[in-house]
Amino acid sequence: MRVLEDVGRIFDLGEDLTIGLEEEFQILDGSSLSMANRFEDLKAAGDAVFGAPLAVSELIQAEVEINTGVHVGFEGAREDMRSRRAALVQAAESLGLALCSTGVHPFSDWRDQRFIQSPHYQRVVEKLRYVAWTNNTFGMHVHVGVKGADRAVALCDSFRSLLPVLLALSASSPFFEGRETGLHSTRAQVFIRSFPRCGIPDIYGDWAGYAEYAQFLFDSGSADDASEIWWTIRTHHTFGTLEIRVADAQPSFEGSMAVAGLTIALVATLMERYDATGKLPVHEGRFIEENRWRALRDGLDGTLIDLDQRRESPAGEIVKALLDDVSAAAARLGLERELAGVERMLVDGNSAQRQLRMLRDGMSIEEIHRAMVAETMASGRPESAANRVGVEI
């Protein structure tokens, strides 16, 4: 465990707006498309295809994660992730496996899953028990570098209010345990509402306020290290980044990049405002929780609350307002393509909306899952129709 003062210095010595991306994938049997406990096999094949370490373990053996390196601009992170997705797909195909990147698997039974046999994950399972057993969920994480520990906490405090909007945009998990759940992001309910120290963090004000709480967790034996603070946004103790963890995994590469691009543009916009004024809007968690519930329940089909105006608006209109708000920062960072991708999601539907549209058109959950697998497996192929946001397979 790092001493909290040392972690603060990582931020103080850090660099603004460095970028890292993480994506999680279901490992599937190539025929049944049910989850397959084949992480070790896929890691060996993936590392060989990529020519360097590629696959990263998560809690269960039917899950694989890929992470980009640290990049000073989004284009480098984008192409890094594209090449990693493509290598992972190639490796999976060589083993007769398939991949899917949606927030949950729609029908595999958690009782069939096995855990990664590392000391870290064994401790997690021992502590969380049923919560860990049933957590077959998949997300996308965006790291954005922030210089200054107090500044990082101020940005984190303010960004909390934006988390439900990103959840609504990224929702990709309307089916679970073989049925429609009535939720657009079942992952957010299964993971965020089950894990301890998860969901929307409190307001901490500055690094000292956050460090006092983190130290309490370590001293009391509640957490062995900072990786057991599972908030949907957190100050990362190793990288000196804000890590935004709220999004469902995205089957479409372009959809994933659109959500990541908007996330980075939002951080950059808040950063500029904080540097100009020394303050940012901050809302209490009980108000943000109302939006979190609306986002996971209805996604882009529902309404969200403008917390400053205390009135509700269609979720799509809230996203459009954010696009206008961040357009200047996005232009400076070269994120215009990603914001255009968000606009296409608003027109064509995000993953949850498209899956539900398929269901209403008469497709079974298994058939819809197969379509999401096809979309995921098209990763890294720039000319593929399946790799464009809003195209139904």
Contact predicate 274/35, CB 8 Å: no
Contact predicate 172/351, CB 8 Å: yes
Contact predicate 252/387, CB 8 Å: yes
Q: Where are the beta strands (DSSP E) in the chain?
A: 19-29, 63-67, 97-100, 139-145, 175-176, 179-180, 198-199, 230-231, 233-235, 241-248, 303-306, 311-314
CA terminus-to-terminus distance, the chain: 46
pLDDT at position 77:
98
SS3 percent helix, strand, coil of the chain, rounded to 5, is: 50, 15, 30
Summarised one tens digit per residue, pLDDT across range 194-218 is 788 889 999 999 999 999 999 999 9
Summarised one tens digit per residue, pLDDT across range 47-71 is 999 999 999 988 789 999 999 999 9
Summarised one tens digit per residue, pLDDT across range 174-200 is 999 999 999 999 999 998 777 888 899
pLDDT average, residue stretch 21-29? 98
Quick one: pLDDT band at residue 380, thresholds 50, 70, 90?
Answer: low
pLDDT at position 385:
37
Summarised one tens digit per residue, pLDDT across range 274-305 is 999 999 999 999 999 999 999 999 999 999 99
pLDDT at position 352:
98
| Angle value at C-alpha 35, between 31 and 40, nearest 5 degrees | 100
Among 109-123, 201-215, 236-250, 264-278, name the one with the lowest average pLDDT: 109-123
Contact predicate 241/16, CB 8 Å: no
Contacts of 66 (CB under 8 A, 6+ apart): 22, 23, 25, 54, 55, 56, 81, 84, 85, 88
> What's the alpha-carbon Rg for the chain, to the nearest Å?
20
Select from 86, 88, 42 the least CA-distant residue to 61.
42
Strands 198-199 and 311-314: unpaired
Contact predicate 376/251, CB 8 Å: yes
Contact predicate 57/68, CB 8 Å: no
Summarised one tens digit per residue, pLDDT across range 312-364 is 999 999 999 999 999 999 999 999 999 999 999 999 999 999 999 999 999 99
Contact predicate 213/157, CB 8 Å: no
Say which residue the tokens 């008469």 belong to. Answer: 362
Contact predicate 42/27, CB 8 Å: yes
Q: What is the pTM of this model?
A: 0.94
Q: How far apart are CA 392 and CA 357, in angstroms?
A: 10
Chain Cα centroid distance, residue 155: 18
Contact predicate 107/96, CB 8 Å: no
SS3 state of residue 375: helix
| CATH number belonging to domain 4-387 | 3.30.590.20
DSSP state of 162: G
Q: How far apart are CA 103 and CA 174, in angstroms?
A: 9
Q: How far apart are CA 68 and CA 58, in angstroms?
A: 16
Contacts of the segment 283-288: beta carbons below 8 A, 24+ positions apart = 283/160, 283/161, 283/307, 284/203, 285/160, 285/200, 285/201, 285/202, 285/203, 288/160, 288/161, 288/163, 288/164, 288/200
Kindly tell me if the per-residue pLDDT of 391 is higher than 60: no
For residues 167-200, one letter each, b for 16 or more C-beta atoms within 10 angstroms of the residue's C-beta and e for the rest, the string is bbbbbbbbbbeeeebebbbbbbbbbbebbeebbb
